[in-house]
Amino acid sequence: MTCLEGELPFEKNDSNRLYTGKTMSYTEDALAFRKAYRQDTPGCITQTGFVNERIWKLQLRLIEEEFCELVEASDNLLNEPTSPSLAADLLKECADLHFVLYQFCSAHGLDLDAASDRVFKSNMSKLDENGQPIFREDGKVLKGPLYQPPSLIDLVESAIK
């Protein structure tokens, strides 16, 4: 399916701003954006065994670009940690990176909402037998003996055709 098929899932209000009129998931938001801006949305990773390389590479470039902007904003705030405007810039870059990750997944039929939920549950299983976290020397949380990896295969099977 391409983004030009079907109707746009939102309306215009009196101030001519687009809005959904309902609460949407991040995936639905990403698809609405792709539709509104006429972005190709193959809906799967492959069609007849081939990746749409143009869309794939564009989305990856956008992720890289937004990540670099996040790092720059982080460095700026690190140098001036009491600046509300620099903190707001950092938050904006975090949201932009989140947005382009959802764009990548939505363009290729990957359900990042469901995957994020499963990864969260998996991460919460990292606690040890006593419900305590295990830390690496640098503070990273390590997998405990009760860790259960997320199962994501069913989420990608329909995206690989």
* 72 plus 129 within the same structural domain: no
* 142 plus 63 within the same structural domain: no
* 148 plus 97 within the same structural domain: no
Domain that holds residue 39: 1-110
Cβ atoms of residues 148 and 125 within 8 Å: yes
* 2 plus 73 within the same structural domain: yes
* 54 plus 8 within the same structural domain: yes
Q: What is the 3-state secondary structure (H, E, C) of the chain?
A: CCCCCCCCCCEECCCCCEECCCCCCHHHHHHHHHHHCCCCCCCCCEECCEECHHHHHHHHHHHHHHHHHHHHHHHHHHHCCCCHHHHHHHHHHHHHHHHHHHHHHHHCCCCHHHHHHHHHHHHHCCCCCCCCCEECCCCCEECCCCCCCCCCHHHHHCCCC
Is 51 part of any domain? Answer: yes
* 73 plus 134 within the same structural domain: no
Q: Which has more confidence, 10 or 77?
A: 77
* 45 plus 82 within the same structural domain: yes
Residue 135, pLDDT above cutoff 60? yes
* 134 plus 77 within the same structural domain: no
Specify the number of domains making up the chain.
2
pLDDT of residue 146: 94
* 100 plus 139 within the same structural domain: no
Is 160 part of any domain? Answer: no
* 106 plus 34 within the same structural domain: yes
* 19 plus 81 within the same structural domain: yes
pLDDT of residue 91: 96
104: CATH: 1.10.3420.10
Last residue of some domain: 74, 90, 110? 110
Structure confidence at residue 48 as a pLDDT band (50, 70, 90): low
pLDDT mean across residues, the chain: 83
Among candidate residues 32, 99, 93, 51, the one with its CA nearest the CA of residue 68: 93
Is 77 part of any domain? Answer: yes
Is 161 part of any domain? Answer: no
Residue 27, pLDDT above cutoff 60? yes
Residue 70, pLDDT above cutoff 90? yes
* 65 plus 119 within the same structural domain: no
Residue 22, pLDDT above cutoff 50? yes
